[in-house]
Structure 1
Amino acid sequence: MKVLGLILAGGKSERLGKLVYKRASAAVPIAGKYRAIDFTLSNMVNSDIIKVGVLTQYNPRSLMDHLGSGKEWNLDRKKGGLYILQPYLGLTGEYWYKGTADAIFQNMSVLKRSEEDYVLIGSGDHIYKMIYNNLYMFHFQKSADVTLLTKNLDESYNMSDYGSVIVDKDMRIIDIREKVKNPPSNRAFLGVYFINKHLLMELLYSSVPAGGNDLLLDIIIPRLKELRVFAYDFNGYWRNIKKGINEYFKTNMEILLNKEIRRELFYRHGKVYTKLKDYPPAKFTSTSKIKNSIIADGCIVSGTVENSILFRGVVVKAGACIENSIIMQDSIVEEGAVVRNAILDKNCIIRSEQKLIGDFEPVVMEKRMVL
């Protein structure tokens, strides 16, 4: 069975604040050396999807630089491979994507020319690990028109931020309440669609020209009675980092502090592939003290690092103290500086004896800032 993968990666996600001033949410760094999109893209590759289109829009430069030709994901190939799908000015005058359905509709030529019979649509800013084969089997067993990936969320999630899915005893979806204050169930839609390609094309042609620009709200939900739409429950770890700074920080800390989550994300169901960079191994001097932290390649640590994540090339000088923080690539924390409950974007500098301390929410330093 051949499946075309589409990754929606054009979102701005204002709730991530300074972290997305100069990048799309799908390009936000995660866990020391990865980007958010690496997880969904690796899931597709590990599920033998060899043709993947990435739909970009907002601040795409960082994301495109990371993806390159797709070599790290074995997608630099003559047949299939990686496609970057950006909005463009055509004869109709259309340019910016107006929604998820419109984004796919404007790239209808990819669907028309593809040999694949089915389409798997995912999001570039969701952190999870999954082989999709069981989802395919469920789809065929139920004779479904559309299958949506769902999950029963616990109290650590704010259900009002997600679409609440109501199913019958056969797992057929009878209603979806999108981001309501009092959700009727804790089964949430995870932004993954599996659908026949020709059915998807038919739905897009009948909806988008009439103004139906959102795939879920304007196409799937109004047709729940006429289409066989089923929910497939995912039971593993899943987080959506675009829900805000706290969600992004929590995701990184869970990866850092929970061994089971690390095993699930990085050791089960295949690898997580990412762009390789030629850094030397991390260096720890005699004055360094490291506890419960992730230290990536190229770091030089002479100070104290506890419950923190240091991305590639970070320098922590003697006497500096970093606690409960995320320090991104090539940042420098100088002598005697204190960083606590904070997120430093790439190429930031904390000068000697300066303090950067977050309160209820981690404080964020924008890219290339100096304190």
Structure 2
Amino acid sequence: MIELVRWQSVAAIVFGDGSESRLYPLKKRRSEGAIPIASNYRLIDAVVSNCINSNINKIYAMTQFNSTSLNSHLSRAYSGAGLGKEGFVEVIAAYQSPEDQGWFQGTADAIRRCLWVLEEYPVVEFLVLPGHHLYKMDYQKLIESHRNSKSDITIVASNTMRDEDAGFGVLKINAENQVMQYGLRSDREPQNSKVAEALTRLSETNYRCIPSMGIYLINRATMVNLLNQHFPKAKYFGTEVIRGALSLGMKVDAYLFEGYWEDMRSIEAFYQANMNCIKISNVGYNFCDRDSPVYTMPRYLPPTIVNNAVIMDSVIGDGCILNRCKIKGTVVGMRTKIGDGTTIKDSVIMGSDVYEIEDDGESNTNSKSVPIGIGENTEIKKAIVDKNARIGKNVKIINKDNVEEGEMEGIGYIISGRIMVVLRSAEIPDGSIL
């Protein structure tokens, strides 16, 4: 019981929006944390589940942009789910007041303006988390490391540097994993050596540079002092508050994370994360881990109906109606209806919020001529089809011209990294070839 109380003295602050995310148009009408993944889940479920599995039962979710679906999901999914008598997931939506008449200007500004809520419980540390990253971590080990090293702030860093990423924080650490400098990698510096050179012009061999995961464990008193006294106008936690803490001589340490981590900085990264979840030898994120389950909202949908369909290497969500179709290497979301003769390969179909029958000319009052779902004799390859999309009959979504990047949002889709992305609620008429 004493050990459990120790971990419950930490409160998590989860941000539903990602400042560096490049997931448009998937985030056009929703926060990054609300984007569906792996048929049944939302991105934020991974982070909240990490908290629950780590016995952190006080979770504040801070939301601002396009937050309606995220707020609804959090409120309905985690109402007392495995959080104990005093546990909660509390949504703190961006607000205006007579004192603060603008919206949140960044992560540091959001936390500062909500300290009056965050300080209601006698917690010892705050754990600041991005809500749209995909990884599994036992935060208890992070907390133990933070306390044993008597740190003011501990930053979680990945041991894997990826050359294609830009915009993340880079930590210069010594042999004891103490953070000496904090820098920001830019798009103009794609090589690891240039990152190191940007951080320091020195050539010491006992220092190294690693990417920050944007996860911070910070002592309560330290956070209050930094935000209210030392840097009352700081907007961003990493580039301003962390750098400021280093300039003040505070003890800032790095906690090295060895596991899989995907920060969803691009459509390609999101697509690949979905593709990884269908592999038997999954080296990425395991949604089927019995020891570290992923929680989400129960929906009480009927089982999926499969009518003479051929399905290989795929994940199928609840409540789907799959007629005589062929599905291979695909994630199929909830309530998806697929017509006869349709072939789908290497794609992500996000499903729909409602069932809709095909227009018979009388009963359907919807102005759309194509029902929600995927029509007969359609071919879809290497695509992401967002929720409630209406794909007609005899349609081909195959990137016929092998375009790398394309902006056709006005007619319902874009192309990113040769991946076709059909917009939420888009209508693709019968016979279209994309």
TM-score, reference length from structure 1: 0.93
> Following TM superposition, by how much is the alpha carbon of 1:158 offset from its aligned partner in structure 2, in angstroms?
2.1
Contact (CA 8 Å) 2:108, 2:236: kept in 1 or not?
Answer: yes
Higher Cα Rg, which structure: 2
Pick aligned residue for 1:295 from 311, 316, 341: 316
Q: Distance in 2 between matches of 1:298 and 1:72?
A: 23
Q: Which residue of 1 aligns with 2:166?
A: 160
- Structure 1 range deviating more: 177-186 or 108-117: 177-186
Q: Name the structure where helix makes up a greater proportion of residues.
A: 1
Pick aligned residue for 1:183 from 185, 192, 195: 195
> Following TM superposition, by how much is the alpha carbon of 1:322 offset from its aligned partner in structure 2, in angstroms?
0.6
Unaligned runs of 5+ in 2: 1-5, 197-207, 353-371, 405-416, 429-434
- Report whether the alignment pairs 1:192 with 2:215: yes
Aligned residue type for 2:124: D
Q: Does 1 or 2 have the higher relative contact order (CA < 8 Å, sep 6+)?
A: 1
Any idea what the Cα deviations from partners look like across 1:307-358, whole Å, max 9, x if unmatched? 1100011111111011111111225111111111111111112111111123
Q: Distance in 1 between matches of 2:87 and 2:244?
A: 33
Q: Distance in 1 between matches of 2:316 and 2:82?
A: 29
What aligned pairs does 1:1-371 form with structure 2 within 5 A after superposition? 1=6, 2-11=9-18, 15-71=22-78, 74=81, 79-155=86-162, 158-180=164-186, 181=189, 182-184=194-196, 187-209=210-232, 211-225=233-247, 226-241=249-264, 243-257=265-279, 259-261=281-283, 264-267=286-289, 269-286=291-308, 288-302=309-323, 303-330=325-352, 332-358=373-399, 359=402, 360=404, 361=417, 362-371=419-428
- Structure 1 range deviating more: 30-39 or 136-145: 136-145
Q: Distance in 2 between matches of 1:167 and 1:71?
A: 37
Change (3 A) 1:131 1:295: same
> Following TM superposition, by how much is the alpha carbon of 1:206 offset from its aligned partner in structure 2, in angstroms?
2.1
Any idea what the Cα deviations from partners look like across 1:2-56, whole Å, max 9, x if unmatched? 1111001134666211211110011111111100000111101111111111000
Unaligned runs of 5+ in 1: none
Change (3 A) 1:200 1:344: same
- Structure 1 range deviating more: 97-106 or 12-21: 12-21
Any idea what the Cα deviations from partners look like across 1:74-111, whole Å, max 9, x if unmatched? 26776341211112121213331111100001101123
Contact (CA 8 Å) 2:277, 2:285: kept in 1 or not?
Answer: no
> Following TM superposition, by how much is the alpha carbon of 1:119 offset from its aligned partner in structure 2, in angstroms?
0.8
Any idea what the Cα deviations from partners look like across 1:163-202, whole Å, max 9, x if unmatched? 2221101000111221231322662111111111111111
Change (3 A) 1:17 1:301: same
> Following TM superposition, by how much is the alpha carbon of 1:216 offset from its aligned partner in structure 2, in angstroms?
1.1
Any idea what the Cα deviations from partners look like across 1:127-185, whole Å, max 9, x if unmatched? 01111111111112211111111112254x52433222211010001112212313226
TM-score, reference length from structure 2: 0.80
Q: Distance in 1 between matches of 2:375 and 2:118?
A: 52
Change (3 A) 1:188 1:294: same
Q: Which residue of 1 aligns with 2:432?
A: none
Q: Distance in 1 between matches of 2:151 and 2:290?
A: 28
Contact (CA 8 Å) 2:303, 2:318: kept in 1 or not?
Answer: yes
Q: Distance in 1 between matches of 2:51 and 2:326?
A: 39
Aligned residue type for 2:156: L
Change (3 A) 1:93 1:116: closer
Q: Compute the RMSD of aligned alpha carbons.
A: 2.0
> Following TM superposition, by how much is the alpha carbon of 1:62 offset from its aligned partner in structure 2, in angstroms?
0.6
Tell me, what secondary structure is at the counterpart of 1:205?
helix
Contact (CA 8 Å) 2:306, 2:321: kept in 1 or not?
Answer: yes
> Following TM superposition, by how much is the alpha carbon of 1:223 offset from its aligned partner in structure 2, in angstroms?
2.5
Tell me, what secondary structure is at the counterpart of 1:102?
helix
> Following TM superposition, by how much is the alpha carbon of 1:263 offset from its aligned partner in structure 2, in angstroms?
6.8
Q: Distance in 1 between matches of 2:80 and 2:383?
A: 32
Q: Distance in 1 between matches of 2:310 and 2:79?
A: 34
Tell me, what secondary structure is at the counterpart of 1:230?
strand
Change (3 A) 1:263 1:168: closer
Contact (CA 8 Å) 1:159, 1:186: kept in 2 or not?
Answer: no
